[in-house]
Amino acid sequence: MFVRAVRGAVQIEKDGASQIVKGVGRLVNGLVEKNSISIEHIISIQFTVTKDIQSKNPAAALRTFGFQDVPLFCSQEPQTKGALPRVIRVLITVETDSGDSLVPLYLDGAEKLRPDLVM
């Protein structure tokens, strides 16, 4: 077994609980599908949010999608000049049989964060 991690981000249109739930769902479920990850193989998921996201914790939002037994953690992204607003970032750590790298996912404007990784 190998331990691998994959990251991604989504920029939400506005701070609101429904926007956060929708963005987190699209981001995490997209990463899981794109990389054929079984929830049972997820070790943990870490979220960061920009300071302008306050309506709902992304970890709590993800629980609505059935990630009940996955350890989740959320923290605030460091404030930097010129940073994109309303961004939720994620790092998913998994056990896998493959030594291959996992494919990141950046959505809804977050592609600007890592244009070198966007496919």
| C-alpha to C-alpha distance for 52 and 64, rounded to whole angstroms | 22
Tell me the whole-structure pTM to 2 decimals. 0.91
Residues 81-87, mean pLDDT to the nearest whole number:
91
Task: Pick the closest to residue 35 from 65, 62, 54, 8 (CA basis).
Answer: 8
Contact present, 5 and 94 (Cβ < 8 Å): yes
* pLDDT tier at 119, thresholds 50, 70, 90: low
Rounded to the nearest integer, the mean pLDDT of the chain is 91
Per-residue model confidence as pLDDT tens digits over 59-80: 999 999 989 999 999 999 998 8
* pLDDT tier at 11, thresholds 50, 70, 90: very high
Q: What is the dihedral of CA 55, 74, 109, 35, to 10 degrees?
A: -130
| C-alpha to C-alpha distance for 82 and 70, rounded to whole angstroms | 33
Task: Pick the closest to residue 1 from 94, 92, 91, 71 (CA basis).
Answer: 94
Domains of the chain and CATH, by start: 2-109 (3.30.1330.40)
Residues written for the chain: 119
Residues 43-59, mean pLDDT to the nearest whole number:
95
- Residue 66 CA, chain-centre distance (Å), reads 15
* pLDDT tier at 118, thresholds 50, 70, 90: low
